[in-house]
Structure 1
Amino acid sequence: MTENAAGVDGPEAHAGEGRGAAAPLLVLRKIVQILDAFSIESSELGLQQIARATGLPASTCQRLVRNMVAEGFLDRVDDRYRIGMGLVQRSAPGTFGLDLVALSRPVLQALRDETGETANLYVRSGPYRTIVALAESRHPVMRLFVVGMVMPLHAGSAGKVLMAWDPTACTEAVGHGLGRFTDHTVVDVDVLTAQLADVRELGYAATFEERDAGAASISAPVFGLSGELVAALGIGAPLQRLGPGDVERLAPVVVASAAEASRRLGFRTDVRAAVERTG
């Protein structure tokens, strides 16, 4: 009987461990490839599109995508896929996961009912913002929003709120590049920096046609138990119902709703003040 046959640790055992350890890493790389196939421009993809973008064999891609849907990493709508709510919630630091969505839902519905416009809750992931919950407007003409929609930080009120209260978000957005979406998109860093200072002073952001022509939004910050920024909450609407002249009337409603969402998450103003003093 050899030493290895007797169960004594040997080179073959180490080689087996190496092969076993490598297999999960290879799977993780393939999962990352699938996630990287999605972008702002390609936020929803079919299975064949994912396979082409990743170069993975169709059978492998199908199996991994099916498992990623089961785990919440991807969401499936008909025959198309998008980044899943489960992944968004896990990647949003400082949030309470499902609690953030569940506790904010009544606030979103109340905001929708009071303003008549779609109310959205956004969290940040790198240089992007993602809708994690919404209450849809009942107007027949409205801006289209869906849970899981990924958008840039620098174009739109919610992104500017996330950048105004989180310097890391601003750094990542600028480092990623300030792409132009409309004639009103701010792509100058100095102008953006000045706008973010105004947002902090006002307590909310209002933007018009920065990401989509004919669209507008107002957003305010949502803070968590420890006084940290966890989300942006706001409304989005067509420009004909939400113009600059409507901000004075609607901004206080949005700010109050964001404050209510913060309160539901356990936020206290004295905690936030302490965070700002030490920050």
Structure 2
Amino acid sequence: MQEAPLLVLEKITAILDAFSLRNDALTAADIRRATGIPNSTAHRLLGNLVTNGFLDRDGDRYSIGSRMAYWAGPAVRRLDIVDLLAPALTALRDETEETAVFFRAEGLSRVCIGVVETRHGLRREMRLGRIMPLHVGSSARVLLAWTPGLLDEVLAHPLEALTSETIIDPDALRRVVDETRAQGVAITTGERVEGASGIAAPVFDRNATLVGALGIMGPTLRLDAGRLAELVDPVVLAADRLTQSMAGRAP
């Protein structure tokens, strides 16, 4: 019996959703594990997707087809990061149960251009348009790591100590920024405010240029070392999805 068209579309969507910026080339076995689609059905759908340009194939690995970028172009041109932030931040807040934020670099500071607050009564206050220093916090670390020349500009000025955990040694700040770039994510505790922690990851546009830092923040009482480690993947995946929604790519 031939499958209903809507059911086929659901399976095709599941296959395409299996790909991400960090898993951009998958084998048929990878796709079957991610989707639960039976072997014979997956084989047939993958063949059709390659034939029609939805997927490219190189040996035993599949990747999103270049034709998809052509189709996505008109939609992406209509979208600004602000249009995409609300659903992305809401989804991240709901998944992590912490305040979700998005920061962009402005001169030698960073500004909050998106925030969805946690439902917990105990929270760290954040508001749209808030301007903050660039040498403290996980979002700042991301902005410094992927904005060429910005760290040098920041280090041309004395680093103000806001708490006992603030990094004020230029060499130490360079080291942690390098670590952020290597790891693809930043985690900080108590650098700007005592008892506050955060995680942030980069979001890129189609030219592999940094758009900003997507992250979560909250009291260290909830976001201790163990909980921070658990929330790294949700934050990184949320940033990857936001990058993808802009037809972006990592450098």
Asked if these proteins are the same fold (TM beyond 0.5), I'd say yes
User: What residue number does 2:163 align with?
Assistant: 182
User: What residue number does 2:225 align with?
Assistant: 244
Distance in 2, matches of 1:113 and 1:188, equals 37
Give 1:265 shift: 1.3
Q: Any idea what SS the aligned residue of 1:216 has?
A: strand
Say whether residues 1:227 and 2:208 are aligned partners: yes
Distance in 2, matches of 1:254 and 1:199, equals 14
User: What residue number does 1:51 align with?
Assistant: none
Q: Any idea what SS the aligned residue of 1:161 has?
A: helix
Higher Cα Rg, which structure: 1
Q: In angstroms, what is the RMSD of aligned CA positions?
A: 1.5
Q: Any idea what SS the aligned residue of 2:118 has?
A: coil
Q: Give aligned pairs, total.
A: 175
Q: Any idea what SS the aligned residue of 2:243 has?
A: helix
Give 1:176 shift: 3.2
Distance in 2, matches of 1:215 and 1:114, equals 19
Q: Any idea what SS the aligned residue of 2:149 has?
A: helix
TM-aligned CA distance change 1:111 to 1:186, over 3 Å:
same
Choose which of 107, 112, 117 in structure 1 pairs with 2:98. Answer: 117
Give 1:167 shift: 3.0
User: Of the two structures, which has the highest relative contact order with CA contacts closer than 8 Å and spacing of 6 or more?
Assistant: 2
User: What residue number does 2:109 align with?
Assistant: 128
Distance in 2, matches of 1:176 and 1:240, equals 33
Distance in 2, matches of 1:175 and 1:204, equals 25
Give 1:219 shift: 0.3
Q: How do 1:157-176 and structure 2 match up within 5 A?
A: 157-176=138-157
User: What residue number does 1:192 align with?
Assistant: 173
Code of the residue aligned with 1:151 in structure 2: it is M
Say whether residues 1:203 and 2:192 are aligned partners: no
Q: Any idea what SS the aligned residue of 2:156 has?
A: helix
Q: TM-score, normalised by structure 2?
A: 0.67
Q: Any idea what SS the aligned residue of 1:167 has?
A: coil
Choose which of 213, 216, 220 in structure 1 pairs with 2:197. Answer: 216
Identity %, equivalent residues: 39
Choose which of 118, 126, 140 in structure 2 pairs with 1:145. Answer: 126
Q: TM-score, normalised by structure 1?
A: 0.61
Distance in 1, matches of 2:130 and 2:82, equals 15
Code of the residue aligned with 1:157 in structure 2: it is S
Conserved in 1, the CA contact under 8 Å of 2:79 and 2:246? no
TM-aligned CA distance change 1:140 to 1:262, over 3 Å:
same
Give 1:98 shift: 7.6
Distance in 1, matches of 2:184 and 2:249, equals 16
Summarize deviations over 1:174-212 as a string: whole Å, max 9, x none: 123311100000000111111011111111000000000
Conserved in 2, the CA contact under 8 Å of 1:158 and 1:218? yes
Give 1:142 shift: 0.4
Summarize deviations over 1:215-261 as a string: whole Å, max 9, x none: 01000001011110010000000011112222221011100011111
Runs of 4+ deviating beyond 6 Å:
none
Code of the residue aligned with 2:101 in structure 1: it is N
